[in-house]
Amino acid sequence: MASIIAKVSKSLKGIHFPADKGKCVEYAKKNSAPDDVLDTLKHIPDEEYDSMAGVWHAVGQMKH
Q: Mind listing the pLDDT tens digit for each residue in 24-60?
A: 999 999 999 999 999 999 999 999 999 999 999 999 9
What are φ and ψ of residue 49, in 5° steps?
-110, 135
Residue 40 identity (one-letter amino acid): T
Count CB-CB contacts under 10 A for residue 41. Answer: 23
7-29: pLDDT as tens digits: 999 999 999 999 999 999 999 99
Instruction: Give the predicted TM-score (pTM) of the model.
Output: 0.91
Q: Provide the strand spans (E) within 15-55.
A: 19-20, 48-49
